[in-house]
Amino acid sequence: MPVTQHSATGNSNLLVANQLQVQGNDGTFTIIEGVDLVIPKGRTLGIVGESGSGKTTVAMGLLGFSREGTRISAGSVSLNGENILSLSPADLRARRGRDISYVPQDPSTGLHPGIRIGVALREMLSVHTNNVENIDARIEQVLRETQLPTDAEFQRRYPFELSGGQQQRVAIALALVCRPSVIIMDEPTTGLDVTTQARLIEVIRDLVRVNGTSLVYVSHDLGVVRSLADDVAVMYGGRIVEQGPVDEVFMNPMHPYTRGLLEAVPRALTKAFKPRAIAGDAVEPWDWPTGCPFAPRCSHHSPECDVSMPAPVWPKESHMLRCINFENALKQKTTLEPVERKNDHLDAGGQKENVLTINNLHANYSRSKLLKGKKIVDAVNDVSFDVEAGSCLAIVGESGSGKSTTLRCIAGLHEPRLGVMEFKGEVLAGRARQRHGDIRRLVQIVPQNPDSSLNPKMTVGEIIERPLALYSRVPKEARHQRVLELLELVHLRPAMGARYASELSGGEKQRVAIARALAAEPSLLLCDEVVSALDVAVQASILELLEELRNDLGMTLVFVTHDLGVVRSIASQVVVMKNGQVVETGTTKEIFENPRDTYTQELLGAIPHLRPTDYPGAPE
């Protein structure tokens, strides 16, 4: 019996999955198994878990779809009482978009670059419905519902002419325009800043409430799930290991894995505590153990856990989990280690060495405008700050605030128009190729989008080995071993070295980019949204790694992120940017506990959070 105890009888607007299973085409490995879900009308189910846990596979399965090389091998998916897995391909395509729709994580995969926004919406309506009397009125209505402009000029735009937040809302509008009874959303707010994310969450919440739409929301952001979902399913190793009302599960987590996920979430609105990574690595589908898939990583492991997958148990009527030792786990009180930063405690007379100094930095993206005598609009406008040696300075702000452009200027990837940048007292040239080799090695950047920086024709091992050869840091005969060490450092298996970037998940690609930067042994590491694509468990392990590098090697970090919880857990200093300018600077404690600028207060107010005091052992 599925955990959500809402009867399907008499309610046609339900999505029900029963014992859903997806395997590889040859049947040698299973990706998800025994998945039971019930989504009533007007309710939202969140699906959470680490990368590789099966979240997206379940979301695809609810659409009657499986990725290339896999197949739905067992189970059923009933939409309005009809098993869509028994439909012909043509009938199934007709149901998608009309009765059940999908919003991808990356809107660029769902928006055709050569089709205007208005044309795409009209095409969706013409293909999937014949009973819309006034198509123009329906399109204006759905654009208004998703808080997008409704005028003809906006509808004539192409996707590339929109911001990331607008693209995501257009993808939601396409999913909603035919008024489906169920929408599946896969990480729709990943990569968005907190204020854009907050606005989009409010849009989604209102759509569900007003239209009675059933929603399945896949995410690794537990704060977003807490603020949006009614129920939550926690996945690990292709199975649902805990499930129930979101307040109940997050306030009283019973499965050791769920408790581990919650401990890995960075806290933004309470005293700074270190997120705790889950020991070990997530299990791969082809390495599933005979018993509980979480057993190898579980501190409450017993021999019985290795015999078979635990059967569902129901501690409460609406709360299900799969664990034979959950009662022992509940007896263990959670204790989290507070963040202590030496730089926060230096007195006014303490000596602070600045490794990086930025003075009056200006940068724009249209130098040709200067030649045409037109006004220049700076993406970065008169920005100044210092970065102390061995510290972590975070730059925060909305999309378009100039964060990444500032970072790219420091890295030598974007030439500033005006201003001076100094690294260890030496003036940095505007372009990386104009800098001395030692400077290029010591100042490394991890880009936001690893797809744009990982050579698709090189293996992961070759990508990581290149800095070792370029800067002659390691003898040729020792490079292979060093590559293996770097892979282990970022929690990737040695076998990953033989793969290509196209064979990796987004989180795995990001870890490869981090390993490549670390191969150069930099003293200043520039991180541009390096954990935004990672689930909370892997994110916690990467944050631990960066903290170790600071403490053990004295490495200095400049960290651009939209995740203020990450900032609270790792940064010593914070620079807040808006419209290319610095509006506030200070220690992390000052910014989070006594923000002075109204914009900073708005950013903090937009954070989705778990109310950490709601679950056992959390700090007051």
pLDDT tens digits for 459-480?
999 999 999 999 877 888 899 9
Mean pLDDT to the nearest integer, 209-227: 88
pLDDT confidence band for 38 (50 / 70 / 90):
very high
Query: In whole angstroms, what is the distance from residue 66 CA to residue 64 CA?
Result: 7
pLDDT tens string 359-385: 999 998 754 444 455 556 678 999 999
CATH 3.40.640.10 for domain 352-450+523-610: no
Other beta carbons within 10 angstroms of residue 338's beta carbon come to 9
Identify the CA nearest to 421 among candidates 404, 435, 441: 435
pLDDT tens string 513-545: 999 999 999 999 999 988 876 788 888 888 888
Whether pLDDT at 233 is above 90:
yes
DSSP 3-state assignment of 34?
A: strand
Side-chain-side CA neighbours of residue 173 (13 Å): 28
pLDDT tens string 396-424: 998 778 898 999 999 999 999 999 999 99
**C-alpha distances out from residue 163 to 148, 159, 198, 398, 400, Å:** 11, 8, 16, 12, 9
Tokens (6 digits) for 325: 């030792």
Whether pLDDT at 481 is above 70:
yes
Whether pLDDT at 169 is above 90:
no
Delimiting residues of CATH 3.40.50.300 domain(s) in the chain? 352-450+523-610
pLDDT confidence band for 336 (50 / 70 / 90):
low
DSSP 3-state assignment of 146?
A: coil
Identify the CA nearest to 393 among candidates 589, 528, 548, 574: 574
Edge-first strand listing for the sheet containing 15-24: 30-39, 15-24, 70-79, 82-83
Contact assessment for residue 264 and residue 337, using Cβ atoms and an 8 Å cutoff: no
Query: In whole angstroms, what is the distance from residue 597 CA to residue 595 CA?
Result: 6
pLDDT tens string 80-106: 889 999 999 999 988 888 899 999 877
